[in-house]
Amino acid sequence: MSDGENRSNRLRIALGAAFGALYGAGLRFLYGFFPNPNHIFQIITVGFILFTPFGMGFITIFVIERRSAQSIWTWFLIPWVPLFAGLAAAGVLLWEGLICIVMFAPIAMISASIGGVAAGLIARLMRSRASRSATLACVVCLPLLISPLEHQLLSQRDLRSVESVVDIKASTASVWKNIERVPAIQPAELRPSWSHAIGFPNPVEATLSKESVGGVRNASFEGGVLFIETVDAWEPNHHLGFSIHAQTDRIPKTTLDEHVTVGGEYFDVLHGDYELETLPNGMTRLRLRSLHRVSTDLNWYAHLWTDAIMRDLQVRILQVIKKRCETAEARRF
């Protein structure tokens, strides 16, 4: 291929990617006009999350392929160009927080590639220009056609339980003392965390109003996130349970955006339990369980992230407790 042909091909790829990016940006702008959670056009829907990147990939490859046949690998990879450009723009314009962008990216990449492959095949196999144009029009309209239908068919409310366990070289009494209240956690006590890196705030401390059922724990996190935890199980040195109510209206949008806000439409943390067990070797096994709600049209994907984030958070808290208990135990001898 000559230099002129290479330059022309690069321009076609850039043009296709530009059309794909404009399509995605247009739909995001359109869906953003409807903040009402009961509206048919919402961001957290199959119509937007799956079929918008599909359309971006389809348009990109369709524009390129109809003018000049490309290598098959371009069908898979070039659709990522408008997708990543759109994600970067969403972050810069503060349309979405980093945590939403990271959660959206893997499934969007797959969907965009599928759209690219579909466009490549159609562009090569369909000889009629009218048929190709009709197919393109249908793909462009897919998100707007699917979104009004899916909420009635796909919307789910799932309760998910996540358990984390750690063995601690300390007595149950020592461990209990470190879970009923959690004094201020210093940054150096927290291990590195991928969930924090993408935007989930660090835990800070947990206070307790009284040592019995009915006591109130205030569990605070960085960025103004506060959970009011009401004790409903109090068995010293054995079991501490509490219902959880997030102070959703106090969480700044700069901390967690509307799509991942705890206590919001799509996600909430409902209950927590600590269980202590004395092991034969004198160590204490500490279990931390949480119950959370996921309410989306694609819970099968969303709960992969919510489970992972809750597990990562719980392990970090358990590691702080373990280190504090074992340090205190070592000082006794």
Kindly state the percentage of the chain with pLDDT values over 90. 63
- Do 242 and 260 reside in the same domain of the chain? yes
Taking residues 293-321, what's their average pLDDT? 95
- Do 189 and 150 reside in the same domain of the chain? no
- Do 139 and 184 reside in the same domain of the chain? no
- Do 172 and 226 reside in the same domain of the chain? yes
- Do 213 and 238 reside in the same domain of the chain? yes
Structural domain count, the chain: 2
Structure confidence at residue 241 (pLDDT): 98
- Asked whether residue 180 carries a pLDDT value surpassing 90, the answer given is yes
- Do 40 and 144 reside in the same domain of the chain? yes
Q: pLDDT band for 123, please (50, 70, 90 cuts).
A: confident
- Asked whether residue 31 carries a pLDDT value surpassing 80, the answer given is no
Residue 317: φ, ψ to 5°: -65, -45
Taking residues 96-113, what's their average pLDDT? 94
- Asked whether residue 164 carries a pLDDT value surpassing 90, the answer given is yes
Residues 50-80 have pLDDT tens digits of: 999 999 999 999 999 877 777 889 999 999 9
- Do 150 and 255 reside in the same domain of the chain? no
The domain containing residue 219 runs over which residues? 158-331
Query: Mean pLDDT in the chain?
Result: 90
Structure confidence at residue 251 (pLDDT): 76
- Do 126 and 206 reside in the same domain of the chain? no
Q: pLDDT band for 6, please (50, 70, 90 cuts).
A: confident
Higher-pLDDT residue of 311 and 65 is: 311
- Asked whether residue 153 carries a pLDDT value surpassing 90, the answer given is no
- Do 314 and 204 reside in the same domain of the chain? yes
Strands 158-168 and 284-294: antiparallel
Structure confidence at residue 80 (pLDDT): 97
- Do 125 and 262 reside in the same domain of the chain? no
- Do 192 and 323 reside in the same domain of the chain? yes
- Asked whether residue 121 carries a pLDDT value surpassing 80, the answer given is yes
Structure confidence at residue 333 (pLDDT): 64
Residues 217-273 have pLDDT tens digits of: 999 999 889 999 999 999 999 999 999 999 888 777 766 777 778 888 889 999 999
Domain closes at, from 154, 171, 198: 154
- Do 125 and 265 reside in the same domain of the chain? no
Lowest mean pLDDT across 40-44, 154-158, 197-201, 213-217: 40-44
Domain closes at, from 124, 154, 184: 154
Q: pLDDT band for 34, please (50, 70, 90 cuts).
A: low
Domain closes at, from 154, 189, 222: 154
Give the domain CATH number at 297: 3.30.530.20
Structure confidence at residue 124 (pLDDT): 85
